Amino acid sequence: MRLEPVTAANYEAALALAVRDDQTDLVAPVVKSLAEAYVFGEMAWPRLVYDGDEPVGFVMAFVDYEWTGGDDPGRRSGLWRLLIAADKQGRGYGRFAVEAVCAELRDRGWSQAYVTFEPRDGGPEPFYLGLGFVKTGEVSDGQTVAVRTLRP
């Protein structure tokens, strides 16, 4: 498994990635993520998740975002978007993508990674908590905010 930048050679494969029908309210489609990466290019870090030569998912980090909400304002970095293709879920690709983003952030000098997720049954809360994220008690646009300490 590896992460690769989205390029002219692979963007159509990126756009074809989609989650299961019952998950469409949990994550925006890749096309929206790429538009956000274009608009917010200074803080967006979009990547395709590959298994061999096959794209199986999409992940995007945010880097050095000015967080103004909650009780702890300041600069934050973390996981902005994670999408694993419907027929590729449950194979460790999501875990790999999150760990790769955390490693990238740690290499850039960040000591914490943030994530937000939809707080509903069947949502990704158990996945993120299982990867060491801890809920902060904050809510952003109706989503639960969680943080993970990045160890050297």
Domain 2-149 sits in which CATH superfamily? Gcn5-related N-acetyltransferase (GNAT) (3.40.630.30)
- DSSP states of the chain: -EEEE--TTTHHHHHH----GGGTTTS--HHHHHHHHHHTTTTEEEEEEEETTEEEEEEEEEEEEEE-SSS--EEEEEEEEEEE-GGGTTSSHHHHHHHHHHHHHHHTT-SEEEEEE--STTSSHHHHHHTT-EEEEEEETTEEEEEEEPP-
The pTM for the full model equals 0.94
pLDDT tens per residue across all 152 residues of the chain: 999 999 999 999 999 999 999 999 999 999 999 999 999 999 999 999 999 999 999 999 999 998 877 666 788 999 999 999 999 999 999 999 999 999 999 999 999 999 999 999 989 999 999 999 999 999 988 999 999 999 87
The domains of the chain are located at 2-149
